[in-house]
A and B are shown apart, each in its own frame.
Chain A
Amino acid sequence: MKRKGLSFYVRIYLKILAQDIKSKMSYRTDFIISTIGMIFTNISGFVSFWILFRNFPSINGWNYDEMLFLYGFSLVSLTPVQCFFDNNWSLRMYVYSGDFIKYCFRPINLFFYYQSEVFDIKGLGQFAFGIGTLVYAWGKIGLAVTPFMLLKMVVFLLTASFIMIALQNAAAATCFWIQNSFYLLDLTFRFKDYAKYPITIFSPVFRFIFTFVIPIAFIAYYPSLVVLRPDAVPILSWISPIIGIIFLWFSYKIWMLGAMKYSGTGS
């Protein structure tokens, strides 16, 4: 099979996207309610944050605005996984029922085709929330607005989102082996709530665990340091883009390995 170029995949993606949005629009109430639900989640997250930190001038050397920055950072970096990889949640159902086989017969990349089928518009609300928080915190802290800073910001936001995508891909792919992957997926989904705190609050043992074993510190903390504390950036922050790419590649391989092993249900 001839390898298809990037432009081909972009064109296909846009076509599938248009179909997906059309089909979502036919369930309008569901769409509106889900969007409101998403806004609720963001508001409540924000309110909890505000209640928790309004009484305290600083926590562990992090002041309110810096915490806010971290919070916004985690929201934005979680948007890609929400928008583009939401179909991972249905994977176990497709595998269980046998419908997954339909994806195996298309002459395009299996992983790409599967993920492209759903685009979750709800994620855009979160994106707006996150950007708003970031811009506000950026101004409050008084960070410089230079092209270099913005470039760093984009690169490290991408890094952070790679890690989350990788975690979720891997968690979803476990269903090829253990059938019900919902609980693992739900667990990785909950990581996003834990990612928004500075890792320095933990004891050394857990700092190690959250960096190397369950890498939630890479979802917001390490990447954001590059922008937030440019004078003292730990080495882990600088290499986090590489870690992100490696993780993403690994999760893709695991996913594909599972899919290749898949033998259908015979129906």
Chain B
Amino acid sequence: MSLKKYLTLTRAGIMESLQFRLATAVMVIGNLLYLIIVYYLWKAIYASAGTDVVNGMTFTDTLIYLVLATALFNFMEMYTVWEMGRNIQTGKIVLDLLKPMEYQRYLFWSFSGTFITQFFFTFLPTFLVVAFVTQGTIPLGLNLLYFMISVVMAIVINYSMDFLVGTICLYTESIWGINIMKQVVVLLLSGATIPIAFFPEPLKTVMFYLPFQSIYHAPLTILLSRASDSQQLLTTLGTQLFWCVVMMLLSKLFWKLSLRQITVNGG
């Protein structure tokens, strides 16, 4: 198996994503606005809490967590459900199914170019700015390496989950509703909008048994943890690996089963 065919898709993706400069500019403005609001909101919350540490997190911790969660979201969200749904509705999916590559793999590699541009244009600058501004709050050491591993697994989990949800579109032909449901659940239960530390105790326990926290919470905790607790690190990475395998198998199986069902309108 040669890697060349995948890298071709990656290259095409990079070129495609560089085409939409205006979109990127608007997205950057939107994110800046969001970050300004997050900053002042949490500042007000911490000011009225009266203590520096709320639920084991300082103001700076919370802010770094949320800023990087947003950066991660922009970098990982590929609108897979959207893309699949549209392809199913228009019938374009037939052409993709005929390609000499498995559809799930094809779609992933055609997104990979965007992963790379997004990494360099949104995640990395955000990370550098945050690291520079907060000066030493993010420990820079081996945890960066573990963070990278964790992010790769998060991407795979996120993609498999999206693919699984996208497959449902084969049955329902509803895109907007399915997509919004998935997005809302993932963002809330993964701790991307509010750090998991702030959730009430019983809900926290439930969340740790669900796959969502492996997408945002896991990589961010690894990045921000100062104490090198190898026990904890192994548990986090192990859980991620577990969900990686489970979600990949599930999405693959569901797709195989559903493909027999497929009806395509024209093409």
Contacts and interface: CB of A to CB of B under 8 A. Distances in A.
- The answer to whether A and B interact is yes
B198 A60 contact: no
A40 B180 contact: yes
Contacts of B45: 52, 56, 59
Contacts of A187: 26, 29-30, 33
Contacts of A183: 22-23, 26-27, 30
A58 interface: yes
Interface stretch (A41-49, A99-107, A155-163, A250-258): A41-49
Secondary structure at the B interface, as helix, strand, loop or mixed, is helix
A201 B44 contact: yes
Interface string B176-206: 1111110011011000011000111000000
Contacts of B27: 183
Contact of A201 (B29, B43, B54, B177): B43
A97 interface: no
Interface residues of A, number: 38
Contacts of B194: 48, 51-52
A60 B185 contact: no
Interface in A120-179: 178
Interface string B1-41: 00000000000000000001011001101100110110011
A64 B199 CA distance: 17
Contact of A56 (B33, B40, B49): B49
A60 B177 contact: no
B30 A34 contact: no
Nearest to A189: B30
29 contacts: A29-B172, A30-B177, A33-B172, A33-B174, A33-B177, A34-B174, A35-B177, A36-B177, A37-B184, A38-B177, A40-B181, A40-B184, A47-B188, A48-B193, A52-B194, A52-B198, A55-B54, A56-B48, A56-B49, A180-B22, A180-B23, A182-B23, A183-B26, A183-B27, A190-B34, A194-B34, A201-B41, A203-B40, A206-B40
Q: Closest 10 A-B residue pairs measured CB to CB?
A: A33-B177, A34-B177, A37-B177, A30-B174, A183-B26, A201-B44, A37-B180, A33-B174, A44-B184, A187-B30
